[in-house]
Amino acid sequence: MYTRTNPRGRIPEALKLIEERLRDPNLSPSGIAGESGLDLPVFCRAFKQVTGMTCTDYISLERIRAAKQLLSRHDLLIKQVAYQVGFENPNYFSRRFREMEGRTPSSYRQLNGSAASPSDG
């Protein structure tokens, strides 16, 4: 539970907020901190203590995970995938994807086969 001396108790709530709002391009550590009732520096420190990474990196990681599912299962354009997982800029999405996965979204799709046709849904 959260106390003034233990802000880490707010992090599970923050993780749930991230999951629920992942597609929102305005999702940010400052917004999550505010909704968690913590000052940004306190929130960021607690978040890193609990998860081992920054909130920004965690959001990117979760967005890339969601993108990988879409790339593997759907015949969407790369820019459509980017928008659906909360990136406002498809080029930035591709750059972050490559940084985190070591390959472009297109090459990921080729390696993991998007067998779905547009009629599959």
Domain boundary among 19, 38, 57: 57
110 and 89, same structural domain? yes
Dig out the tokens for 104 from the structure. Answer: 């472009």
From the list 5, 60, 55, the residue with the least C-alpha distance to 31 is 55
In this prediction the pTM is 0.84
Q: Summarize pLDDT for 16-73 with one digit per residue, the tens.
A: 999 999 999 999 999 999 998 899 999 999 999 999 999 999 999 999 999 999 998 8
Domains: count for the chain: 2
Q: In Å, how far are 46, 68, 99, 116 from 8, measured between CA atoms? A: 5, 30, 29, 42
Domain that holds residue 99: 60-114
- The conformation of residue 9, written as its DSSP 8-state character, comes to G
Look up the CATH number of the domain holding residue 49: 1.10.10.60
71 and 31, same structural domain? no
